[in-house]
């Protein structure tokens, strides 16, 4: 096990920010780092993850520059893991060689994404049906890191199975390659996010994993809404860490262990305004419409929220959103009443 993951395991349960395409981009990660007091006692996620990133794109000289933008990060977001996906071992080797030189704490391989296009190409969750190829891809990632003359760990994020529960046979295949950490989303591909995550199976999942590799760092993912909830799930299951995805939407304060009170309405929508401005500043290559998926998350649960949200959906840039929010606060006050 790498020194990085050894350190994480000593502080269990630790908390990770999940990789979500067009959500946990550099702008949102910086907002999370700021509002969760990352780097200060009791603050911030213990580990950041990048967005889901194509190894094929990185391996292509034509597409590389654009894909590399997904992997940009600031010192405020460290430690950060780069997540890659592919069904081609050679492209994984090339991509891992590139990523290993960028200063990441590790490389994570996505073997759980259920997106139709990703699955059609044999990557993501499709690799559950092809353990031989999955293992080749892990080995290729390690070779790429060696090519770069670096020593960073390799981990995998996956699910409990494809159409059925297959973790008892699937997870040992991954562990046989000596990965440093394993994140298990406690649903199958077939279930998507349509059913509750199977935390009732988490203890058995941990037993299966420990029977193969007693030292690997084990991270649980699925339906974790708070640090208290995650801590309880970790203790009951025997998992070392917890990864939080949807729970972070509209709540960049989530990873602040010392915060007791929920943010005021004014805090939430002012954070949204700052988020929109940062998105526009550092992600100029992306359309502002991507930012709009955050509006519903930030703007809900208070008087006037629906009307403000509808108005924000009509904005075309961060300045318009900021002006709209300032007008709302002037009319409704800091509590939205």
Per residue in 271-296, pLDDT tens? 999 999 999 999 988 999 999 999 99
Q: Which residues contact 193 (CB under 8 A, 6 or more apart)?
A: 187
Catalytic residue flag (residue 16):
no
Measured CA to CA, the distance from residue 337 to residue 334 in angstroms comes to 8
| pLDDT tier for residue 324 given thresholds of 50, 70 and 90 | very high
- Rg (C-alpha) for the chain, rounded Å, is 20
pLDDT tens-digit map of 214-264: 999 999 999 998 999 999 999 999 999 999 999 999 999 999 999 989 999
What's the token pair of residue 2? 């790498």
Angle, vertex CA 8, rays to CA 2 and CA 13, nearest 5? 145
Candidate list 113, 202, 272, 276, residue with the active-site label? 113
Residue 177 pLDDT: 98
Backbone angles phi, psi at 142, to 5 degrees: -65, -40
Name the pLDDT band for 331 (thresholds 50, 70, 90).
Answer: confident
């Amino acid at each position: 096990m790498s020194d990085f993951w050894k350190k994480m395991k000593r502080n269990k349960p630790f908390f990770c920010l999940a990789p979500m395409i067009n959500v946990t981009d550099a702008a949102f990660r910086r907002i999370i780092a700021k509002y969760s007091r990352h780097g200060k006692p009791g603050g911030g996620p213990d580990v950041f993850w990048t967005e889901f990133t194509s190894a094929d794109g990185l391996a292509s000289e034509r597409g590389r520059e654009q894909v590399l933008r997904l992997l940009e990060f600031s010192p405020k977001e460290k430690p950060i893991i780069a997540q890659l996906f592919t069904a081609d071992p050679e492209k994984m080797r090339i991509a891992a060689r590139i990523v290993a030189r960028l200063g990441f704490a590790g490389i994570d391989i996505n073997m759980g994404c259920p997106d139709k296009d990703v699955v059609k190409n044999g990557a993501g969750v499709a690799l559950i049906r092809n353990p031989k190829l999955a293992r080749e891809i892990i080995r290729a990632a390690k070779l790429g890191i060696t090519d770069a003359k670096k020593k960073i760990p390799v981990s995998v994020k996956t699910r409990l199975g494809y159409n059925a529960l297959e973790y008892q046979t699937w997870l040992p295949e991954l562990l046989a390659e000596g990965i440093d950490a394993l994140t298990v989303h406690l649903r199958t591909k077939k279930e998507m996010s349509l059913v509750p995550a199977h935390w009732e199976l988490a203890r058995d999942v941990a037993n299966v994993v420990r029977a193969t590799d007693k030292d690997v760092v084990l991270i649980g993912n699925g339906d974790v809404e708070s640090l208290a909830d995650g801590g309880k799930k970790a203790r009951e299951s025997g998992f070392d860490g917890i990864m939080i995805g949807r729970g972070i939407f509209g709540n960049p304060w989530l990873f602040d262990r010392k915060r007791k009170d929920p943010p005021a309405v004014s805090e939430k929508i002012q954070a949204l305004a700052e988020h929109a401005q940062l998105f526009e500043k550092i992600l100029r290559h992306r359309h502002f419409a991507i930012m709009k998926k955050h509006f519903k998350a930030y703007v809900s649960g208070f008087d006037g929220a629906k009307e403000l949200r509808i108005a924000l959906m009509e904005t075309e840039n961060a300045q318009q959103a900021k002006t709209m929010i300032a007008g709302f606060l002037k009319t409704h006050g800091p509590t939205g009443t």
